[in-house]
């Protein structure tokens, strides 16, 4: 009898120990996933930190309801009115750790150009959308790192849930000869976005960036001409060559139908960011969530800024490298460039089926 009671007690103790070990195991596994979530390689993308609350909310919602919060937003027009910032503010869910069902996928949309067109502004504005997951840095996969392979490229992408659009921006893609074929080989259905801007101001903007890094180069006026006396333009000088939009677009059009290419009007992205964002959201098949409520015009900066970026209650403008003061360029050089670009612009309008109104 005594040995039976003894055995019974031993069994209970064993059971208790097993239970404690089981719970400790659960705690360790949760801690592990939490830490993996926190230390994810996305530290590259500063904005992903801003996205974390949105991500956690989306993950929590999907895990609980089996669907993405977009469905919740779609279901109610009132909710659809809510800004993405409001949707993403769910601090009580932050402790849940990273969503386990999210995966890294190849992008379904790319901002392929143009350099100095306003690509950073577009990306930063788009990432306010809860159904957009965008890489903050420029991966240059299709032009510089193609040999690393698609698995490397995928590993660069932020994690996304089903229904979220993964995207990146690398403005050089638009002018790099090899990129359309490579992108086509990855996906025939990919959506391509090109932010275009008056090629003359784009060239000056490009030059402004160059002199900020290499101040002692010749003047814009000098570099513009092959021969100043004859007035022959140096079309091979990168700031001028990039602006030959028709030339570059023709290459893309031999791989992709125009229906897969959306043009953002760079000047309107500044004067009416919400209007341009509305059209981009339509093109991407997204609900129009980023609206004029998200923007205000900052007089000091001279550009639209965000009222409330992700994860912050403070207004935010793009950094100092966006919206630089351009050097003064001789008016006759500007006019010569306008004349030079005129036929190219006409051809571009014809190919794109859109008149951008550059003089
Ligand atoms: N909201 C807002 N804030 C600041 N700047 C804005 C904005 N919207 C468009 N832009 C214009 O974006 C130009 C820079 O273009 P990109 O971001 O494509 O440049 S880059 O190619 O990534 O270097 C930048 O060119 P510069 O003015 O010549 O600096 C701006 O004119």
d(CA 38, CA 136): 17
Task: Say how many Å lie between the CA of residue 344 and the centre of ligand 1.
Answer: 23
d(CA 121, CA 48): 16
pLDDT at 63 over 60: no
Task: Say how many Å lie between the CA of residue 266 and the centre of ligand 1.
Answer: 9
Question: In degrees rounded to 5, what are phi and psi of residue 324?
Answer: -70, 155
Task: Say how many Å lie between the CA of residue 208 and the centre of ligand 1.
Answer: 12
pLDDT at 227 over 80: yes
List the beta strands (DSSP E) in the chain: 103-104, 109-113, 132-134, 159-160, 165-169, 191-196, 225-227, 232-233, 261-265, 295-298, 303-306
**Token code pair at residue 205:** 């903007």
**Cα distances (Å, whole numbers) of residue 45 to 50, 132, 222, 312:** 9, 14, 38, 16
Ligand 1 atom at shortest distance from the alpha carbon of 326:
28
d(CA 140, CA 338): 31
Reported confidence tier of residue 133, pLDDT bands at 50, 70, 90: very high
d(CA 136, CA 46): 7
**Token code pair at residue 236:** 């091979």
pLDDT at 161 over 60: yes
Please say whether the beta carbons of 296 and 304 come within 8 A: yes
Predicted confidence (pLDDT) per residue in 238-288, tens digit: 999 999 999 999 999 999 999 999 999 999 999 999 999 999 999 999 999
H helix and E strand count, the chain: 15, 11
Question: In degrees rounded to 5, what are phi and psi of residue 178?
Answer: -85, -10
Question: In degrees rounded to 5, what are phi and psi of residue 164?
Answer: -90, 140
**Beta strands at 103-104 and 159-160: parallel, antiparallel or unpaired:** antiparallel
d(CA 341, CA 172): 20
Q: Which of 115, 116, 159, 308 is catalytic?
A: 116
321 class by beta-carbon count within 10 Å (0-12 exposed, 13-18 middle, 19+ buried): exposed
Say if residue 119 carries a ligand binding annotation. Answer: yes
- The lowest-confidence range among 76-80, 102-106, 162-166, 195-199 is 76-80
pTM, two decimal places: 0.78
Per-chain mean pLDDT for the chain: 82
Question: In degrees rounded to 5, what are phi and psi of residue 308?
Answer: -150, 90
Is 188 catalytic? The answer is no
């Amino acid at each position: 009898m005594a040995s039976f009671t003894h055995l019974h007690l031993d069994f209970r103790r064993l059971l208790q120990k097993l239970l404690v070990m089981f719970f400790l195991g659960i705690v360790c596994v949760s801690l592990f996933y939490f830490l993996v979530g926190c230390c994810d390689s996305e530290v590259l993308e500063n904005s992903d930190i801003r996205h974390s609350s949105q991500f956690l909310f989306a993950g929590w919602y999907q895990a609980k309801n089996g669907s993405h919060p977009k469905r919740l937003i779609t279901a109610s027009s009132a909710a659809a009115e809510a800004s993405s910032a409001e949707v993403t503010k769910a601090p009580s869910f932050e402790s849940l750790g990273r969503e386990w069902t999210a995966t890294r996928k190849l992008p379904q949309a790319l901002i392929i150009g143009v350099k100095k067109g306003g690509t950073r502004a577009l990306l930063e504005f788009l990432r306010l959308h809860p159904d957009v997951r965008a890489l903050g840095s420029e991966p240059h996969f299709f032009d510089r790192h193609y040999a690393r392979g698609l698995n490397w490229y995928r590993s660069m992408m932020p994690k996304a849930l089903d229904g979220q659009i993964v995207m990146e921006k690398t403005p050089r893609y638009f002018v790099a000869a090899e990129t359309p074929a490579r992108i086509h080989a990855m996906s025939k259905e990919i959506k391509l976005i090109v932010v275009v801007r008056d090629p003359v101001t784009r060239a000056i903007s490009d030059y402004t960036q160059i002199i900020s890094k290499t101040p002692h180069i010749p003047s814009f006026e000098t570099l513009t001409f092959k021969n100043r006396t004859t007035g022959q333009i140096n079309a091979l000088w990168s700031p001028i060559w990039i602006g030959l939009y028709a030339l570059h677009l023709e290459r893309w059009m031999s791989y992709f139908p125009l229906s897969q290419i959306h043009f953002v009007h760079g000047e309107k992205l500044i004067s009416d960011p919400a209007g341009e964002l509305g059209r981009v959201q339509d093109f991407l098949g997204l609900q129009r969530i980023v609206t004029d409520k998200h923007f205000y015009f900052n007089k000091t900066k001279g550009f639209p800024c965000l009222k409330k970026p992700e994860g912050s209650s403070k207004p935010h403008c793009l950094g100092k490298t966006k919206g630089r003061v351009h050097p003064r360029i001789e008016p006759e050089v500007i006019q010569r460039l306008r004349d030079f670009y005129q036929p190219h612009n006409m051809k571009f309008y014809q190919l794109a089926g859109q008149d951008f109104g550059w003089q």
